[in-house]
Amino acid sequence: MRTNITVKIGGEAGQGIQTIGSLLAEVCHSAGLFTFSIDDFESRIRGGHSFNLLRISNEQLIAPGHIPDILVAIDQRTMNLNKATLLPDSLVILNAENKSDSNADIDENSCSEADLEGCKSDNVLRISLNRLAKEAGGLITANTVAAGCIFAVLGTPFDMLKELLVKKFKAKGESVINLNITAAQKGYEAAGTVRYHKQFDWKPTKTDRIVISGAKAAGLGALASDCRFFPFYPMSPATGVIASVVPYSGKLPIVVEQAEDEIAAVNMAIGASFAGVRSMTSTSGGGFCLMTEGLGIAAMTETPLVIVDSQRPGPATGLPTRTAQPDLLFVINASQDDFPRFVLAPGTPSETFESVKKAFYLSEKYQVPAIIMLDQFLATSQVTQQNFFKVDKDVERFILNEDNLKASDSLSQSPDTYKRYSITDSGISPRALPCMGNIMVRVTGNEHNEKGEISEDAKNKVNMSNKRNSKLAAMKKEMELPEIIYPKEADNQFFLTGWGSSKGPIIEAYEILKLDERAKERGINFGYIIFKDIWPMDAESLKPLIANKKLIMVEQNSNCQMGKLITQETGIIYHASILKIDGRPFYAQYIVDKALETIS
């Protein structure tokens, strides 16, 4: 039987909300459970309101939770923001202190009885985190106290928590370990006999599953692709991609360099790629704006380039720590004039790993830029996944090496005969690296002839544009068609259609809708369509697949960008749209409700 429990831990930034959440997730993982964890925080380091939303299940999770089964209110704000939406059987763990206590360490923001007014649940467990932490040996352990209490109500055997604490604090020594175990015990005991009514079967379980974010999957995908150079400029929510490779410097031959700005980052990546080293940079929409000219020079010089765009709401600074899908049409069209490029939008961490590998492969094979679309939701959510770290023994580089340079007589005889932009049927010209043999590699952002000389000749311009664009036919065939799922051919059938990170919530919404009474009564059927490989779009193949289907676009932007793109490429007009632009991720029930609303 499937059991799902959503735990929401809320408090101020700086209170260690994420620490509690990750401790919970780690213990769940050691019990073979599945987790889907999102962090919601403001663009500030201290204060404000932030929460961790951890969904736990005994089966694979593809989407985040929403209404908490267990609410952990570390501060009043958390209580006040959540009490009206709680379920009657939700359990509240309230950080409540006796504020008339003359104790100097009283947490002023902790809750009181007044904060419970209007609460939809009267299942309330009151504990005093600071008092218990002090009893345990230090205020610093308040998070561990909270974790102990949560584990108690989840019914986790204390030993499992203890084991993890020992592992986690091993490096810090015996006394820190003992301090935390005492704190956890205090929290655990404070729960008394209170248990949440849904329980898991807790026992230590070995799995080869991992808990991973999209950002980390992207970083590891790059390492698996033999990417060695990571120039970047910090920007949420893209920094995590680069941060995830930093621990590997020293172990693998990589250089991570903070550039002076995004323009430098992208041009540094291009320079390294030109010289023969695979490179990747990562940014969000605002940084991508600065990179657009770089995209153009990569295209014009036919230098491979991989960029991760981890999206957030805009325009301008927008919502730095929130999620959205507003950059699709931008990245497809970014930089002046027209040139081929790849745009891939994975939906899960494991797909991200594969998409990044594919991006490197395609970018070098076709000598065009490849862009991977993530967003704050996918980049930062920590999700249980089957271990997906498949690293190929070798990577194919599509570069003329010394041997095949020599083999080609004409090249070795006279350096002048190498044409970096030779016209070929495929549009792809054999690529050599600078200073590697006795040939000379010459590239320029000006329009050029086959040898890389600036050319303003009219006929040459047409030939060269055509050469670059002639790659498109083969590029389209590299794109996986969207996943299209529906139970059976039926009348009155609607397809929830999305791309990238909304995959999980869409599929979960579809599963709910299949069983939904309101839908059944009205004779409505559902299916879904998920795009992962987006650009270039193989419209000829796509068209017959979606021609007679009613598409309900599910996107996190205000102008239904994927819907527009489908119309632009296939002439097919979507039926309706569910657009969420509040900066918070989709959850399944939201899509379900909107879908039913939209159809009526």
Partner 1 sequence: MVEPKDYDNDFENKWCPGCGNFLIQKAMKQTFAELNIPPEKILFVSGIGQGGKTPHFMKGNLFHCLHGRALAVATGAKIANHDLNIVVNSGDGDCYGEGGNHFLAAIRRNIDITLLVHNNQVYGLTKGQASPTSALGMVTKLQKHGVTSSPFNPLATALGSGAGFAARGFSGEPEQLKELIKQAMNYRGFALVDILQPCVSFNKINTHQWYKDRVYDIQSIGHDPSDLAKAIMLSLEWGERIPTGLFYQKESTPFHSRIGVLQDRTLISYPFDGEKTAAVF
Which residues contact partner 1 by CB under 8 A?
220, 223-224, 226, 228-229, 231, 248-255, 257, 259-261, 263-264, 267-277, 279, 293-294, 296-297, 301, 389-395, 415-416, 434-435, 437-446, 452-454
Q: Which of 502, 600, 479, 486 is nearest to 553 (CA)?
A: 502
Between 28 and 405, name the residue whose CB sits nearer to partner 1: 405
The dihedral built from the CA positions of residue 319, 320, 322 and 327, taken in this order, carries a sign that is positive
Q: Rounded to 5 degrees, what are φ and ψ at 265?
A: -55, -50
Task: CB nearer to partner 1: give 54 or 266.
Answer: 266
State the minimum distance, in angstroms, from the CB of residue 518 to partner 1.
46
Lookup result for tokens 């009490």 = 83
Query: Minimum distance between the CB of residue 421 and partner 1, rounded to whole angstroms?
Result: 13
We find the least distance from the C-beta atom of residue 236 to partner 1, in angstroms, to be 22
Question: What residue type is 512 in one-letter code?
Answer: I
Distance CA 75, CA 86 (A): 16
If the CB atoms of residues 174 and 416 are measured against partner 1, the closer one turns out to be: 416
- Give the nearest distance from C-beta 309 to partner 1 in angstroms: 19
Specify the residue, 251 or 459, whose C-beta has the smaller distance to partner 1.
Answer: 251
- For the chain, what is the radius of gyration of the CA atoms? 27
- CB atoms closer than 10 angstroms to residue 27: 25
- Which is closer to partner 1, CB of 51 or CB of 274? 274
Collapsing DSSP states into helix, strand and coil, what is residue 185?
helix
- Helical (H) or strand (E) element with 545: helix 539-546
Residue linked to tokens 């509240």: 92
* Contact indicator for 21, 52 with CB cutoff of 8 Å: yes
Say if CB 349 and CB 303 are below 8 A apart.
Answer: no
Tokens of 293: 């000219």
Q: Which is nearer to partner 1, 52 or 350 (CB)?
A: 350
Q: Which is nearer to partner 1, 70 or 359 (CB)?
A: 359
3-state secondary structure of 554: strand
Nearest distance, CB of residue 401 and partner 1, angstroms: 12
Residue 336: CB atoms within 10 Å: 10
For residue 596, give the DSSP letter.
H
- Shortest Å, Cβ 301 to partner 1: 7
Q: Minimum distance between the CB of residue 391 and partner 1, rounded to whole angstroms? A: 4
CB of 294 to partner 1, least distance (A): 7
Q: Among residues 46 and 393, whose Cβ is nearest to partner 1?
A: 393
Whether 473 and 505 have beta carbons less than 8 Å apart is answered as no
State in angstroms the smallest separation of the CB of 245 from partner 1.
11
What pairs with residue 554 in β-bridges?
Answer: 578
Give the residue from 332, 421, 423 showing the smallest Cα distance to 371.
332
Shortest separation between residue 453's beta carbon and partner 1, angstroms: 5
- In the complex, least distance from residue 419 CB atom to partner 1, rounded to whole angstroms: 14
Computed from CA positions of residues 150, 153, 157, 159, in that sequence, does the dihedral angle turn out positive or negative?
positive
Using the minimum distance from each CB to partner 1, give the nearer residue, 105 or 416: 416
Closest CA to 599 of 529, 513, 515, 502: 513
Which one, 339 or 574, has the nearer CB to partner 1? 339
Phi (first) and psi of residue 37, to 5 degrees: -120, 130
Which of residues 154 and 300 has its CB atom nearest to partner 1 in the complex? 300
**Angle CA(559)–CA(563)–CA(567) in degrees, nearest 5?**
120
- What is the C-alpha separation between 392 and 188, in angstroms, rounded? 46
**Assign residue 253 a region: left if phi > 0, alpha if psi is -120 to 50, beta otherwise?**
beta
Beta carbon nearer to partner 1, 443 or 572: 443
* For partner 1, the closer CB: 436 or 474: 436
Cβ atoms of residues 502 and 348 within 8 Å: no
Identify which of residues 187 and 231 has a Cβ nearer to partner 1 in the complex. 231
The least distance separating partner 1 from the CB of residue 339, rounded to whole angstroms, comes to 15
Least separation in angstroms between CB 363 and partner 1: 15
| CB neighbourhood size of 261 (10 A) | 12
Burial of 53 (0-12, 13-18, 19+ CB in 10 A): buried
Residue 560 falls in which region: left (phi positive, over 0), alpha (psi -120 to 50) or beta = left
Helix (H) or strand (E) holding 330: helix 328-333
What is the smallest separation between the CB atom of 223 and partner 1, expressed in angstroms? 6
Q: What span, in angstroms and rounded, lies between the C-alpha atoms of 300 and 228?
A: 23
* Measured distance CA(489)–CA(511) in Å, rounded: 17
CB of 175 to partner 1, least distance (A): 32
Q: Looking at beta carbons only, is 135 or 257 nearer to partner 1?
A: 257
- The DSSP result for 2-43, as a single string, is --EEEEEEEEEETS-HHHHHHHHHHHHHHTT-EEEEEEE--S
